[in-house]
Amino acid sequence: MGTMRILDHTGDTAVTWDLDDETTLRVAEEIFEREAAQSKMAFARPMGAPVEQAERIRSFDPAAEEIIWVRPIQGG
């Protein structure tokens, strides 16, 4: 079971998938592509692990325990 967390006005929206469930995998991969197309950045980490263990990923990793999507940044 993996979880994708997309930062938004609710804090974040969580999307989960199950390695044994093809439908949830497909949906999660589609959402990954959609977020990537918005130039957002994805980081995978073991569930709940500190930032030192977070790694930038550029393609959907079904084995990831937790993926956090953050927005592009700009000068304020």
Partner 1 sequence: MIPSLHLVEDIPDWGALVEVVGGEHHGARVLLVPAARVLPRVTPAPSRAAGPRHLVRLTHQGLVTAHDSRRAEADRRAEGLLESLLDDDQREQWRSRRRFSVRTPYGIVELGRVSHLRFDDLDGGHLVLCVVPLRSSELPPADIWTNLLLVLRGEPRRFFDVANYCVPGGRWHRGPVPLPHPSPVPPLMATISG
Given the complex with partner 1, which of 20 and 52 has the nearer CB atom? 52
Residue 28 C-beta: closest distance to partner 1, Å: 19
Q: Which residues contact partner 1 (rule: CB under 8 A)?
A: 5, 7-12, 41, 43, 48-52, 54-56, 68, 70-76
Residue 69 C-beta: closest distance to partner 1, Å: 9
Residue 5 C-beta: closest distance to partner 1, Å: 7
* Tokens representing residue 41 in the block: 């950045």
Between the CA atoms of 18, 20, 23 and 26, what dihedral angle is there, to the nearest 10 degrees?
70
Given the complex with partner 1, which of 17 and 69 has the nearer CB atom? 69
Which residues face 2 on adjacent strands?
Answer: 17
CA distance linking residue 21 with residue 15, whole number of Å: 14
Alpha carbon 11 to its chain centroid, in Å, reads 14
